[in-house]
Amino acid sequence: MSNWTEVGQLNDIPRLGSRVVDNNGEEIAIFRTSEDQVFALRNRCPHKNGPLSEGMVHGNKVACPLHNWNIDLTSGEVVAPDKGCVRRHEVKLEGETVLLAI
Amino acid sequence: MKERLVLVGNGMAGVRTIEELLKLDADYDITVFGAEPYGNYNRIMLSPMLTGETTLDAIMLNTPEWYAEHDITLHSGKKVVRIDRKNRLVIADDGSEAEYDRLLLATGSNPFILPVPGHDLEGVIGFRDVKDVEAMIDAAQNHQRAVVIGGGLLGLEAANGLMKRGMRVSVVHISDTLMDQQLDSEAGQMLQRELQARGVEFLMQASTQEIVGKERVEGIKFADGREVQTDLVVMAVGIRPNIELAQSAGIHCERGIVVNDTMQSFDPRVYAVGECVQHRGTCYGLVAPLFEMAKVAANHLAKLGYGRYEGSVTSTKLKVTGIDLFSAGDFHGDDECERIIYRDPSKGVYKKIVLKDNRIEGAVLYGATMDGPWYFQLMREGSDVSAFRDTLMFGQGDTADAGHGANHTVMNMSDDTEVCGCNGVTKGDIVRAIQTEGLFTLDEVKAHTKASASCGGCTGLVEQILAATVGTDHSHPKVKPMCGCTDHSHDQVREAIRSEQLTSMDAVFKKLDWRTPNGCPSCRPALNYYLISSWPKEAQDDPQSRFINERVHGNIQKDRSYTVVPRMWGGVTTPAELRAIADAAEKYQVPMVKVTGGQRIDLVGVKKEDLPAMWKDLNAAGMVSGHAYGKALRTVKTCIGSQYCRFGTQDSVGLGIKLEKMTWGSWTAHKYKMAVSGCPRNCAEATIKDFGVVAIDSGYELHVGGNGGIKVRVTDLLAKVETEEEVLEYAAAFMQLYREEARYLERTAPWIERVGLNYVKSRIIDDMENRKTLHARFLESQQIAQNDPWNELSKDEHRLQFVPMKTLNSEEKPHV
């Protein structure tokens, strides 16, 4: 059971960038692509816990700032040849408003 | 309906093209015809298969399941005998047919069989496919004597394999030098002696006249009357592109199927790749060029149309265990070439480097091939070697072997030897990845193992392991693409940005047909740099294309905290500044306060949300960002100098401060460090900096291109000048030249090694006009660049990016 929670406006997030939502001490990174799609992932790279929110967004992927692992934003899967996955959260836009399923 | 692609030739080049095409998500119905009854296997592993070091199963690259998985129709064991171009149809020997919209020919090559009497006797074979290897293994079990005709790469590997299988082997060669396509006579003699010592017999300058025997071969007669007895003849006198099918279909062929730079034959629906191809007059017989062709053909088949094949430069290694041999380029040289030769007969070492205008044209190495990849790289890039010509012969030193000492050759290395110190990758890890994942290129090894993916110091070694594991050859594209998003090199991209006046990243993507929508973490920072350094006024800096360190102006640490380093001009501070730093450290509970190597203070472990407030406090005390995180001017290190030091000849502190005030805030291709020493004792260590000044009694020595990191490099002396004004002018001109011409992430040291000190001198010393122009351009762009990022980002409108966009608390009721 999840609730759609308003977490901010689309323009709070830079295009090809990310902002963080603090959910009871657990960080969730919200990403915005060049096409203005939004995705949400737990803000921890499965490799060494790097903050994905600080990574570079390219296409539908984000590169972790610590060791450059790439994570697919749509699935949360690590892009090969590295292996692993990141927990994904449902997120959607209603107009300009960003809603996160908690 | 989907377009239909038919591949004729189920080998490495053809299937690689299909793999590249699948990566590009191109929509084709694909049908593959192969004459051999297997999937695609790794042909260059046939030599190890002959020696028994590997098996057919282990060298399969694509199994029948792979074809099924990708909806590819595979006709194995069916030889295509006719192409009906009018009806766009291929017909195989069993009568099966396939229609095509596009046809890809990858028919490979055939071993050349000398047309002498008896060449069709039983026991006369080539060395080309699994069938030949099986015939050799069978002969070794039932017969004693073998003759290999042809003392080239393939012939010697065949001889070595047959000997290991217990046969008595003679090699017949037409000239007096083995491997004369790759070796000069001296190296050829050494190789022959080594192989003789192992028991291979040689018949040199022997021209085969007749193969004798009733049904099976019994012996060979030569033109000069010599005769030998044998039970097996392996012909390894070269390969001929297999063009029979193409020719019969009326496609233009010379030695091979003639193709253009997009791998199309004279019929644009018909592509060709691999050993059957003749491109710009050259036919290739090594694996790496085939892969480059495959990439281009796939690109064109996917209708992307920006890939071009421009030919390859290749180098060779012989894969016979215990013999180290490397050859590349023009190893004879013409009248204008010079040759540096090193001989140590008792150690069995011979090296020859052919130079023209201080650039490597070719090389032959025997007995010590460690530095082969390095020479090859210098050759490919056309690097000027004059600066290190004296030591060129002794190799790249400890960088090439990541500090394991120069005595290790790849072959002798144990599997648990650590090759990549950054990522803890052993030789065994690399070899396993190459074998199990079927890797062929350095980039693939890097991606799969992370070896050489960090500092790059072990790149030469990894390339050697790759060459030793994969097989006999090694080659690279002539220009290295910037990254996977493009086929253009760094230099080509920057040239386009300038000549086409591109001032935004989107304009670059569009003009140069980038294949990704917004680049990747490798090309975006580079493009951003090229844009703002080429068009400082017109181009906008793009924070999202900067690495996090440059975006939040601090070095990210493994626990997500950051560092704060205030600038200390020339390494000089005051009690008031120190007090402000101490106050900030206490106020924000900084866990570590550390003195850096660049004469300033590092506040380590700062929380991201504290950064703006801390910067504001430090700004208020008169301090600005030290750019200790950036591809930018870092520090100007100084010694005490003539103000106090009893040895000082000039005011090194004062000059250091002036240099730092002039250059701070400038973005460069990589980090940039300076130093000023007040006398030749050089306490500021100026001779391992990007730009170092050493004061002497009569003025200043200017040193450039030093480095104290992965590979220590001492500076080159650029000039001696008399006044501080001159120092500043030369410093700005040099920095500007570096900014404009070095590739992104290329420090001054490798840049100078690539272009040559003489080139830098010609632009800065010999051409006064140019020096003044560079100096002026530097100052002009500094007018825009010299903004303290702390002051800018601590403003309220920027503060939000340092805190969460929302904090949720379970006590609060969430919105619906």
Residue among B129, B120, B43, B45 nearest B79 (CA): B129
pLDDT score, position B412: 66
**Most confident of the following: B186-200, B308-322, B650-664:** B650-664
Q: Is A30 on the interface with B (CB under 8 A)?
A: yes
Q: Quick one: pLDDT at residue B403?
A: 36
Q: Tell me if chain B has a CB within 8 Å of the CB of A26.
A: no
Distance between CA B566 and CA B648 in Å, rounded? 28
User: What is the Cβ-side half-sphere exposure of residue B146, based on CA atoms within 13 angstroms?
Assistant: 34
Q: What string of H, E and C letters represents the secondary structure of B139-189?
A: HHHHCCEEEEECCCHHHHHHHHHHHHCCCEEEEECCCCCCCCCCCCHHHHH
- Which residues of B fall within a CB distance of 8 Å from A21? 804-808
- Minimal-distance CA residue of chain A relative to B800: A12
For B487, the token pair is 């086929």
pLDDT digits (tens, 9 = 90+) for B318-333: 666 667 788 888 888 8
Calculate the average pLDDT of chain B: 89
**Which residue from B55, B17, B66, B62 is spatially nearest to B41, judged by alpha carbons?**
B62
pLDDT tens digits for B236-288?
998 899 999 999 999 999 999 999 999 999 999 999 999 999 999 888 877 77
Mind listing the pLDDT tens digit for each residue in B511-553?
998 989 999 999 999 999 999 999 988 999 999 999 999 998 9
Residues of chain B contacting A15 with CB distance shorter than 8 Å: 544
More confident site: B655 or B371? B655
**Range of weakest confidence among B177-186, B389-398, B769-778:** B389-398
Query: pLDDT (tens digit, 9 = 90+) per residue, B716-730?
Result: 999 999 999 999 999
Where on the phi/psi map is residue B303: left (φ > 0), alpha (ψ -120 to 50), or beta?
Answer: left
Per the CB < 8 Å rule, is A59 touching B524? no
Chain A contact for B543, CB < 8 A?
Answer: yes
CA distance B654 to B217: 88
- Kindly determine whether residue B521 and residue A68, on different chains, have CB atoms separated by under 8 Å: yes
> In this predicted complex, what is the ipTM?
0.93
Residue of A nearest to B433 (CA): A81
Spell out the residues 6+ positions from residue B487 whose beta carbon is closer than 8 angstroms to its own.
B299, B306, B307, B308, B481
Give the closest of A24, A30, A51 to B809, CB-based. A24
Instruction: Determine if the peptide bond prior to B536 is cis (ω within 30°).
Output: no
Q: How many CA atoms lie within 13 A of B585 on its CB side?
A: 17
Q: Which of A9-23, B430-444, B558-572 has the lowest mean pLDDT?
A: B430-444
Q: How confident is the model at residue B398 (pLDDT cuts 50, 70, 90)?
A: very low
CA distance A25 to chain B (A): 8
Place of tokens 């692992």: A69
At residue B633 the predicted structure's pLDDT band, cuts being 50, 70 and 90, is: very high
pLDDT bucket at B401, cuts 50 / 70 / 90 = very low
